Amino acid sequence: MAIKNVAVLTSGGDAPGMNAAIRAVVRTAVHYRLKIYGIKYGYQGLVENDLIELHRGSVANIIQRGGTILGTARSREFETSKGMTKAKRTIDRYQIDGLVVIGGNGTMRGANAFMKKFGVKIVGIPGTIDNDLFGTDFTIGFDTAINNALDAVDQIRDTASSLERLFFIEVMGREAGFIGLAVGLAGGAEEILIPETRTSIPELVKRLNENIKKGKKSNIVIVSEGDEAGNAFTIARKVKRALNEDYRVAVLGYIQRGGKPTANDRILASKLGNAAVRALKTGIYGCMVGEVNQKIVYTPFKKTYSKKKRINKKIYQIIRTLSE
């Protein structure tokens, strides 16, 4: 049966490019003469019946804006059976026959549970700075986040080399090292510590010591927030015990997640937003749309968060070689 009413929401941590994705979903829906609703604050808006009808003009002038015009949340209520039942009532009230959810692994998990419980037709779009979803080469927001982090690393490098000081810079990424890996390579870091590889403090100390003896003017260690050896402060303290070097720690935090999306993120968001509505129209749902090798692919929700997306270990090696 042809779909008539579509809704879109953003859930979990905001990511730059979410607005570009919302715009693409809305404009594609309008193109196919579908009614389109925007749900506020992620799944919580579904639970609380908080939604607005969107039109072509509602998404004008947002492609360049960070954050999400719909607001977002990590809804605990939606995870309960009662909350989900309330959300289903909103779906029924507005006769929503296609739902587009934009977010990270928690969002895809929620979509899978909702679909299983009530048979709602849902398509996901990967929107997270962490880039940790299986089924897409890149997630929306990742490119902007690494560029934001890189600006900060470049600026810190000025101080690091002027004072010949050791820096530990912590980047986001929850339990994934994609941001750390990319920023490490692009920022010319001496060391990167990411959750996907084992961190040995004695080995780190040994290499930093060699760098200092070699006369390296600055040493930057990128630490992924999810590294198993601890956060940047903990690691720095452990290193200090063995290596008597003055050091500073910088936690980049939310500057990575904000700001206007890069061209790459806007392009990806526009392609995936368009693909999501087209998928619903052609009867494809229960999956996330992604881009792999420049082709649109559909991955069942469960696979996107239960299958581990692998880091490219070669990059790790390149970072080591180039900073020797």
CB of 12 to ligand F6P, least distance (A): 6
Residues 6+ apart with CB under 8 A from 227: 177, 193, 194, 195, 199, 235
What is the pattern of x (binds ligand F6P, CB under 6 A) and - over residues 143-182?
Answer: -----------------------------xxx--------
Q: Min. distance of Cβ 129 from ligand F6P in angstroms?
A: 5
Which of the residues 231 through 270 are near ligand F6P (CB under 6 A)? 257
Least distance to ligand F6P, CB of residue 146, Å: 12
Q: Which of 7, 266, 41, 21 minimizes the C-alpha distance to 144?
A: 266
Q: Does 190 bind ligand F6P (CB under 6 A)?
A: no
- Number of residues written out for the chain: 324
Query: Whole-angstrom Cα distance, residue 283 to residue 296?
Result: 16
Q: How far is CA 5 from CA 8, 32, 73, 140, in A?
A: 10, 11, 23, 25
Query: Residues binding ligand F6P: what is the number (CB under 6 A)?
Result: 10
| 139-168-138 Cα angle (round to 5) | 10
Q: Pick the catalytic residue: 14, 97, 130, 132?
A: 130
Q: Which is nearer to ligand F6P, 38 or 177 (CB)?
A: 177
Least distance from ligand F6P to the Cβ atom of residue 236, Å: 19
Residue number, 142 or 301, with CB nearest to ligand F6P? 142
Q: Based on the residue annotation, tell me whether 265 is a catalytic residue of this protein.
A: no
CB count within 10 Å of CB 158 equals 10
Q: Is 183 in the site for ligand F6P (CB under 6 A)?
A: no
Which residues make beta-bridge pairs with 300? 287
Spatial distance between the Cα atoms of 243 and 145, rounded to a whole number of angstroms: 32
Q: How do beta strands 5-10 and 98-103 pair?
A: parallel
Q: Does 104 bind ligand F6P (CB under 6 A)?
A: yes
- Output 77-80 pairs: Cβ under 8 A, ≥24 positions apart: 77/44, 77/47, 78/42, 78/43, 78/44, 78/46, 78/47, 78/110, 78/114, 79/110, 79/113
Tell the smallest beta-carbon distance from residue 39 to ligand F6P (Å). 19
Binding mask 106-145 for ligand F6P (x = CB under 6 A): ----------------------xxx---------------
Pick 121 or 257: Cβ nearer ligand F6P: 257
Nearer to ligand F6P by Cβ, of 16 and 286: the residue is 16
Single out the residue of 10, 11, 13, 305 in contact with ligand F6P (rule: CB under 6 A).
13
CA angle 248, 249, 253 (to 5 degrees): 155
Contact residues for ligand F6P (CB under 6 A)? Answer: 13, 104, 128-130, 172-174, 225, 257
Residues serving a catalytic function are 130
